[in-house]
Structure 1
């Protein structure tokens, strides 16, 4: 049996159609389009989630951004930049999530 996607693990039994759309359309089509690299898509996604204070989804996308080649320093800079446009609380929330993720990855606890 194939490994379940993150969406399947989270809500597969509860909202199967939303999982299908997430897996097939969002990550299967939109994220795979060639005009923007996965790295660029991650930067756009992280900054949008941070700016809109969508903290529940932000952590997984910060991890994905690091996996897609963005560095900690690039993410810190992007979040610092958006503080002036999206608001200090949004940036502080995003930066503390990033700090926790980076520290946990460094210690192997994530």
Structure 2
């Protein structure tokens, strides 16, 4: 979905109403998400506790930073189809920016948990 379409949807009254009443806590996305799409989901599902998705590798640091800083309820993040070098990058990001106090990162079969 392009950014213009996402912004248009977010500005609608239905979107605002839904995001304010939405109780969805678990979300699995079966396609590769861009930063703009992740921001859209953050706004749509503010109570999200668990997220599984694939993300564009060039945006993984930006996406992770956004998720961890804006999603107060998120306690489980599963990024699929990723290479192991991102384990160190994300661990460094979390520590250097103090995004989390107590966390565990695992890399299993091309997935990051």
Q: What TM-score do you get using the length of structure 2 for normalisation?
A: 0.37
Larger helix share, 1 or 2: 1
- Bigger Cα Rg: 1
Higher strand share: 2
